[in-house]
Amino acid sequence: MNPQQPLPESSDGATRRPAVATERKRGGRFSGRRAKKPKVLAIITDACSGCAGAPVCQICCPVDECMLLQAADDAFPFGRIWVDPLKCVGCRKCLRQGPEDTLLDGCPWDAIVMIATPEWEVKHGELPY
């Protein structure tokens, strides 16, 4: 799977679309689609190995189900993170904040980059905000 693919397919071959919901805060985390388009989006590169099944970026992300660990043939047995472009808020916490408030100087494996939303939309189509 291309880590920059905007919408993955489910096991039955149907395109998985995120549920459209209003922005809600639940247990210190936001859930649902963002109310406005962010300036930048997180993109996962081929360097992602899913932190051996316990991805730090996923833990640090303040948005529920924004960063999802998915199987990837070229990252076996670990998998790779996929970022939901409708949920990413561009906060960069996946780049800078580690577990237990440790600070990272970017992903240790340079597996996450931020891309301008207009640049992402040129490749993948306009986000529906």
Q: Which residues pair with 68 in a beta bridge?
A: 82
Q: Which two tokens stand for residue 89?
A: 């808020």
**Residue 92 predicted with pLDDT over 50:** yes
- Give me the sign of the Cα torsion angle 94, 81, 46, 49: positive
Residue 100 contacts by C-beta under 8 Å, 6 or more apart in sequence?
A: none
Q: What is the pLDDT of residues 97-119, one digit of tens each?
A: 555 666 665 566 678 899 999 99
Cα Rg, the chain, nearest whole Å = 14
Looking at residue 14, its amino acid is A
| Position with higher pLDDT, 50 vs 23 | 50
Q: Which two tokens stand for residue 97?
A: 């904040």
CA distances from 104 to 42, 55, 99, 117 (A): 16, 14, 9, 24
pLDDT at 68: 92
Pairwise CA distance, residues 82 & 60, whole Å: 15
Please, is 3 exposed, middle or buried when counting C-beta atoms within 10 Å of its C-beta (0-12, 13-18, 19+)?
buried
Mean pLDDT of the region 39-46: 92
Mean pLDDT of the region 73-84: 83
pLDDT at 24: 56
Looking at residue 129, its amino acid is Y
Backbone angles phi, psi at 9, to 5 degrees: -95, 145
At residue 5 the predicted structure's pLDDT band, cuts being 50, 70 and 90, is: very low
118: helix, coil or strand? Answer: helix
Q: Which residues pair with 116 in a beta bridge?
A: 40
Domains of the chain: 24-124 (3.30.70)
For the chain, give the mean pLDDT.
75
